[in-house]
Amino acid sequence: MSSSPGLLQPNTRFRDRYRVLRVIKSGGMGAVYEVLDEVTATPRALKVMLPSLLDSEELRARFALEARVTGSIESDHIVRTSDAGIDEATGTPFLVMELLRGEELGSLIKKRGALPPEDVALYLFQASLALDKTHAAGIIHRDLKPDNLFVTVRDDGSPCVKILDFGIAKVIEQHHASTLTRQMIGTPVYMSPEQIRAERNVGPRADIHGLGHVAYTLLVGETYWAEQAESIPSPYLLAAELLRGPQEPPSVRAARRRSATLPKEFDAWFFRATALKPDDRFERASAAIDALAAAFGVPLPRVPRIVLLPDRPPPPAGPSPTAPTQPSQAVQAAGFADVPTVTVPELVKTPVSRHSLRPHPAPSPLPPSRPESSRPEIPPEPSRPELSQRAPLSGVAPSRTTPSLGEPSRPSLGEPSRRPGPEPTSRRERPPQRRFQVRADTTTGVLHVKVWGFWDVDEGRAYLDDFRSKASTLLGLGKPWYVLADIADFPPQRPDVSPYVEQTMAFAAGNGMRRAANLVNSALSKMQISRLSAAMGLPEYSFFTTEADALAWLFKG
């Protein structure tokens, strides 16, 4: 057997038990195969992952715990795991699962367009039953999207939805948290605000938020955020928009963009499901889908419901059975591909194709509120999280400090001797990465800054030191100095990195910087720049799309 998880050949055996039949899916983190369990003569799906994904004892322990806990939950709507572990010979993590025949909902809507409400309600109702059980066990999926909902068919011909990717994405998220990438990890257009802010304690209601956006996508044929994802080129700017939460009623947006008709009752449901504050969302997944069915007046099957304890996030430390954020799913068998970037699925504008479903007796629905305003009445609107000032700098000290994305609190600024952010528990002796450039032009007095990609703590520290050093060169000239910051490719940073960026602002503001300009992507419209400046608390006139315009403003004001 090859030691590479991407190179298992047909007719080879894995762990002396599973004969490889074919490759189902391969990607940057591993591969999925159809195999034959020679002990039981049963076709299975074998998922193998890169050994580097679990390069510590803590991650290996978490992986084993995830597989055990998820495998112990009995549900028709969760892919069953029959075997899992670490292959001793190669160090390869693996999962053996039931082999599915069918199609992902993401693939289905690309082919057929929007789905009828009765289908959407039934599919999400089945998914909600699984989520109620996993949430009761302390497991959060964290990456609900149409590509992670797989539709198969029972023996009686009725559809059966299974949720993919329980049990591994959390450990993959932990792996990516310690590596650098220039792309946002996960599926941002379905992420809850607390996930975008990278909060430590993400609770079950993050999945409720995901269900809300999945429902819109299935009903309309594109994500709610498709317009922003198409027009905003920077992950940072997209995250800033997502953190504001939905503003336009979904019925209005669906009609404007796709000529789709959604009832006003859906607006109230959607705004509650995707509320910025977790406590303002539905308490349980099944309660959310009950309300969705009532909004459309479609029936759902009668089934007993489990009762959950009050919603609370999982404990912050130690191996905990929280589930995945990252992987992308495709084809039959819970396969994963490369981690997705900030893009929306390819959209196919085909006519709605209705599926024939057997009618089910309806429960007594709770009538939704019918507000007269364009935006439905919902619980008091959650406070909107403010956005971080990253590399952008203002020539005038801001009247308020704006916390960084994902940062619960801000350290005091302007103390050159302080090292912000937690020290890594174990740091390798290696030079820091340099995804930044700082250059002092002594002729013009401009400090040119370009920042991009995701940083670790070492790189944040190196940036702060380099900024101070180069700025000191200009300070020694005894004349006005300026900052020109290119932030077009600088996405949200980890909470332990953000303070280093913020200290550059404090240093500049406290050491005579006259003015600062920010370069953003040339594809941004004036409206988008206006939104960005308002969200960040910076003057709109400090944002430019060309260096010439920025320099002219710096010197002339």
Q: How far is CA 221 from the centre of its chain?
A: 20
* DSSP SS3 for 464: helix
Give the whole-angstrom CA distance, residue 302 versus residue 307.
15
pLDDT reported for residue 156? 85
**500-543: per-residue pLDDT in tens?**
888 888 888 888 898 888 888 655 545 555 555 555 555 656 78
Q: What is the pLDDT of residue 177?
A: 46
**Mean pLDDT estimate for the chain:** 74
d(CA 80, CA 66): 13
The radius of gyration of the chain's CA atoms, rounded to the nearest angstrom, is 25
Across residues 159-173, what is the average pLDDT? 70
Q: How far apart are CA 392 and CA 183, in angstroms?
A: 20
Helices 285-296 and 117-136 cross at an angle (nearest 10°) of: 170
Residue by residue, DSSP assigns 232-291 as ---HHHHHHHHHH---S-HHHHHHHHH-----HHHHHHHHHHT-SSGGGS-SSHHHHHHH
pLDDT band with cut points at 50, 70 and 90 for residue 401: very low
Give the active site residues: 143
Cα 24 to Cα 1: distance, rounded to the nearest angstrom: 18
Q: Which of 376-390, 453-467, 501-515 has the lowest mean pLDDT?
A: 376-390
Q: Would you tell me how many other CB atoms lie within 10 Å of the CB of residue 460?
A: 26
- Residue 170: what are its φ and ψ, rounded to 5°? -65, -40
Where along the chain do its domains lie? 102-337, 436-556
**CA separation, residue 119 to residues 2, 108, 110, 151, 160 (Å):** 44, 12, 16, 11, 11
What's residue 88's pLDDT?
A: 81
Range name among 33-47, 204-218, 350-364 with the lowest pLDDT average: 350-364
Q: Please provide the DSSP assignment of 184-195 as one string.
A: --S-GGG--HHH
Sign of the Cα pseudo-torsion (499, 501, 505, 508, in order): positive
The single-letter code of the amino acid at 298 is V
Higher pLDDT, 354 or 475: 475
In CATH, 436-556 is 3.30.750.24: yes
Q: What is the DSSP string of 395-410?
A: SS--SS--PPTT-SS-
User: From the centroid of its chain, how far is CA 533?
Assistant: 24
Place of tokens 């479609």: 298
Top CATH class, 102-337 = mainly alpha
Burial class (CB in 10 A: 0-12, 13-18, 19+), 517: buried
Out of 30-39, 252-261, 264-273, 411-420, least confident range: 411-420
Counted residue by residue, the chain has a size of 557
The residue that leads in pLDDT, 313 or 400, is 313
- Predicted TM-score (pTM) of this structure: 0.55
Instruction: Assess contact for 161 and 149: CB atoms under 8 A.
Output: yes
Q: Which two tokens stand for residue 527?
A: 């409206």
Which pLDDT score, from 0 to 100, does residue 537 have?
54
| Structure token digits, residue 221 | 């044929």
Per the CB < 8 A criterion, the answer to whether 497 and 457 are in contact is yes
Cα distance between residue 254 and residue 221, in whole Å: 9
Average pLDDT on 88-113 reads 90
Residue bearing the bigger pLDDT, 67 or 553:
553
Confidence grade of residue 449 (pLDDT, cut at 50, 70, 90):
very high
pLDDT tens digits for range 324-368: 433 333 334 333 333 333 323 332 333 333 333 333 444 444 444
